[in-house]
């Protein structure tokens, strides 16, 4: 896992610089009423040293918000380190976060500081905090309370000086009620809380975002002043629910620029995601009926290892349906990304970790 570059995101709001600099194509826009309210909260919370919990769907820009909080804080000259809590196996997450001493486990040939030590004097962004195993939640809570870490294999505590910003697309209140997330850690993290509304609830942000992506990718592709047709603009605003949020919009605009003619993006140039909102009740009942008949047919066939075969088929089909996006697949199936990754590895969709 590499450290994320420290850079200020592009911001769009009344009074913003006319030519701000972006560190990548993904961008924050605060044009919609809901986005402006979010921006005001960010401005209030940013300068403090309080822990922050950012919630929102995948692709809404949670890391960009975290970076902006860092830029507003007194720690802005220190490091900003981003860690994906769902990217580590349960056996590695403690070593990654808190560090280890030489010989503490097989392969630990040298001592190494963890992310908490590496972020000293700055901000540590813990993404997908909802995927953190319960055993690690206990240890993280202790670190946040004591402001010190103990490396794996050591008995000496190391003081830490770091602001923690956590993010999740999981409903942590439901996770707490279900026993999947510790209530005391939840309250420790959400001293200050920011919720990013999905793009479908921020319609006034869609066109400014699309125009920004037009400019960025147009320049990369050598296109001169690409534009959206009027019909295309209406489709982007009113005829798609954007389940992948800003990230999906970015990809849609990029693809459209690859295939458009005369530098005009028309409706036929759009490649919108096949992921849709939940079906209506009668459609869901029809789907349940079809599924039941398919299962009965399989049961009648006396197939060996049937459960494993069904599980594999569901995982693989969902993964393809979500265009091999792990976060969207996990959300679609209602399981954690760690469980999904384990299944994908087991079924040969992902390489085994070395």
Q: Which of 156-160's residues contact partners 24+ apart within 8 Å by CB, and which partners? A: 158/99, 158/117, 160/116, 160/117, 160/120
Confidence category of residue 11, pLDDT binned at 50, 70, 90:
very low
Residue 41 to residue 60: CA distance in whole angstroms: 16
Q: What pLDDT, on a 0 to 100 scale, did the predictor assign at position 321?
A: 83
* pTM above threshold 0.85: no
For residue 172, pLDDT beyond 70: yes
For the chain, give the percent of residues with pLDDT over 70. Answer: 87
Q: What are phi and psi of 23, to 5 degrees?
A: -90, -15
Please check whether residue 321 is in contact with residue 332, taking contact to mean a CB–CB distance below 8 angstroms. yes
**If you search the block for the tokens 């097989």, which residue do you land on?**
106
Q: What pLDDT, on a 0 to 100 scale, did the predictor assign at position 199?
A: 95
Out of 85-89, 253-257, 276-280, 294-298, pick the least confident: 276-280
The residue ranking higher by pLDDT, 46 or 325, is 46
User: Which domains does the chain possess?
Assistant: 33-195 (3.40.50.300), 202-269 (1.10.8.60), 285-346 (1.10.10.60)
Write the pLDDT tens digit of every residue in 219-276: 999 999 999 999 999 999 999 999 999 999 999 999 999 999 999 999 999 988 654 4
Q: What pLDDT, on a 0 to 100 scale, did the predictor assign at position 325?
A: 84
Q: What pLDDT, on a 0 to 100 scale, did the predictor assign at position 353?
A: 64
For residue 24, pLDDT beyond 70: no
The residue ranking higher by pLDDT, 20 or 256, is 256
Across the range 36-54, mean pLDDT stands at: 95
Q: What pLDDT, on a 0 to 100 scale, did the predictor assign at position 338?
A: 86
Out of 11-15, 220-224, 325-329, 337-341, pick the least confident: 11-15
For residue 19, pLDDT beyond 70: no
SS3 state of residue 53: strand
Please check whether residue 165 is in contact with residue 51, taking contact to mean a CB–CB distance below 8 angstroms. yes
* Rg, the chain, Cα only: 23
Across the range 36-61, mean pLDDT stands at: 95
Its sign, for the CA torsion 275, 227, 246, 6, is positive
- For residue 38, the Cα-to-chain-centroid distance in whole angstroms is 18
């Amino acid at each position: 896992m590499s450290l994320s570059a420290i850079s200020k995101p592009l911001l769009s709001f009344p009074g913003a610089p006319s030519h701000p600099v972006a560190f990548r194509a993904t961008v924050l826009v605060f044009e919609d009423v809901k986005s402006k309210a979010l921006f005001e909260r960010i401005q209030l919370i940013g300068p403090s040293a309080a822990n922050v919990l950012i919630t929102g769907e995948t692709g809404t820009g949670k890391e960009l918000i975290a970076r902006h909080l860092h830029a507003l804080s007194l720690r802005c000259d220190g490091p900003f380190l981003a860690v994906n809590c769902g990217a580590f196996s349960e056996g590695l997450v403690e070593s990654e976060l808190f560090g280890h001493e030489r010989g503490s486990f097989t392969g630990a040939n040298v001592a190494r500081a963890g992310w908490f030590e590496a972020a000293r004097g700055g901000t540590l962004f813990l993404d997908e905090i909802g995927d953190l195993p319960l055993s690690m939640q206990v240890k993280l809570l202790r670190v946040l309370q004591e402001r010190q870490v103990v490396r794996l294999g050591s008995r000496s505590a190391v003081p830490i000086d770091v602001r923690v910003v956590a993010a999740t697309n999981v409903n942590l209140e439901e996770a707490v009620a279900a026993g999947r997330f510790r209530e005391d850690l939840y309250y420790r993290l959400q001293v200050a809380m920011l919720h990013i509304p999905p793009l479908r609830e921020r319609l006034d942000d869609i066109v400014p975002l699309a125009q920004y992506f037009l400019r960025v990718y147009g320049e990369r592709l050598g296109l001169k002043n690409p534009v959206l047709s009027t019909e295309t603009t209406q489709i982007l605003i009113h005829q798609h629910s954007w389940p992948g949020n800003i990230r999906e919009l970015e990809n849609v605009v990029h693809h459209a620029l690859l295939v458009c003619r005369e530098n005009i993006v028309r409706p036929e140039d759009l490649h919108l995601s096949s992921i849709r909102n939940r079906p209506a009740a009668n459609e869901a009942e029809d789907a349940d009926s079809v599924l039941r008949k398919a299962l009965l047919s399989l049961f009648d066939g006396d197939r060996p290892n049937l459960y494993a075969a069904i599980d594999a088929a569901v995982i693989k089909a969902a993964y393809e349906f979500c265009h091999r996006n792990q976060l969207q697949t996990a959300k679609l199936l209602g399981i954690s990304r760690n469980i999904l990754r384990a299944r994908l590895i087991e079924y040969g969709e992902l390489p085994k970790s070395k």
